């Protein structure tokens, strides 16, 4: 789907965007918190989808697929994760989690370790190479896409301040 097709698809969703203001900043109608959240979410989601090429370039530069990248975000060098924990985290079945971990192992980015208390359970951990790859991926992923740099400084400051209030989980 091209960027234009994606824009048209979003526009055809007919999601509520009913806010407006009168002179002096007075709201034209009282909006529910849910409606306000939908109005904030729609452009965020749209921006995320329309800037997918930026993320794809970052992943490709490291030889990663989106699933590989997602895996690197949740794995750790010290604390292992079981295959069932990973499948739950990634919202996939165990065979898909196994396939993802196999890919990471083949590239030397992760390894399975047996835990001493139960040799049947394998824990997946990042290797030193996996940790370096994740660090580089995060560094380049967090460089802003060109579309964001098109905003003026005042809008960027307002956006930064607003999104800094979102409840996010830090990568491991």
- Span of 94-98, 106-110, 130-134, 166-170 with lowest mean pLDDT: 166-170
Beta bridge partners of 114: 122
Q: How far apart are CA 126 and CA 77, in angstroms?
A: 5
| 3-class state of residue 119 by DSSP | strand
27, 21 in Cβ contact below 8 A? Answer: yes
Q: How far apart are CA 63 and CA 143, in angstroms?
A: 18
pLDDT tens, position by position, 23-78: 445 454 678 999 999 999 999 999 999 999 999 999 999 999 999 999 999 999 99
pLDDT at 22: 38
**pLDDT at residue 17 greater than cutoff 50:** no
Q: What is the pTM of this model?
A: 0.70
Across residues 4-31, what is the average pLDDT?
A: 52
Q: How far apart are CA 145 and CA 143, in angstroms?
A: 7
**pLDDT at residue 137 greater than cutoff 90:** yes
Q: Is the model more confident about 12 or about 63?
A: 63
105, 111 in Cβ contact below 8 A? Answer: yes
Q: How far apart are CA 138 and CA 141, in angstroms?
A: 5
**pLDDT at residue 14 greater than cutoff 70:** no
| 3-class state of residue 84 by DSSP | helix
| 3-class state of residue 118 by DSSP | strand
Q: Is the model more confident about 15 or about 131?
A: 131
Tokens representing 140? Answer: 């380049």
Q: Is the model more confident about 71 or about 7?
A: 71
Domains of the chain: 65-136 (1.10.10.10)
**pLDDT at residue 171 greater than cutoff 70:** no
Q: How far apart are CA 63 and CA 172, in angstroms?
A: 21
108, 129 in Cβ contact below 8 A? Answer: yes
pLDDT at 121: 83
> What's the mean per-residue pLDDT of the chain?
84
pLDDT at 13: 56
């Amino acid at each position: 789907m091209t960027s234009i097709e994606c824009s048209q698809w979003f526009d055809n969703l007919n999601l509520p965007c009913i806010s407006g203001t009168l002179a002096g900043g007075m709201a034209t109608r009282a909006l529910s918190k849910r409606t306000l959240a939908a109005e904030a979410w729609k452009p965020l989601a749209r921006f995320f989808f329309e800037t997918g090429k930026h993320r794809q370039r970052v992943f490709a530069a490291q030889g990663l697929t989106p699933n590989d990248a997602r895996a690197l975000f949740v794995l750790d060098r010290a604390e292992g994760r079981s295959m069932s924990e990973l499948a739950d985290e990634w919202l996939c079945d165990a065979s898909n989690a196994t396939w993802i971990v196999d890919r990471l192992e083949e590239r030397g980015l992760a390894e399975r370790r047996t835990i001493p208390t139960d040799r049947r359970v394998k824990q997946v951990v990042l290797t030193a190479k996996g940790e370096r790859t994740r660090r580089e991926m995060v560094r380049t992923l967090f460089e802003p896409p060109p579309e964001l740099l098109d905003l003026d400084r005042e809008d960027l400051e307002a956006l930064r301040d607003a999104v800094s209030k979102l409840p996010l989980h830090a990568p491991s």
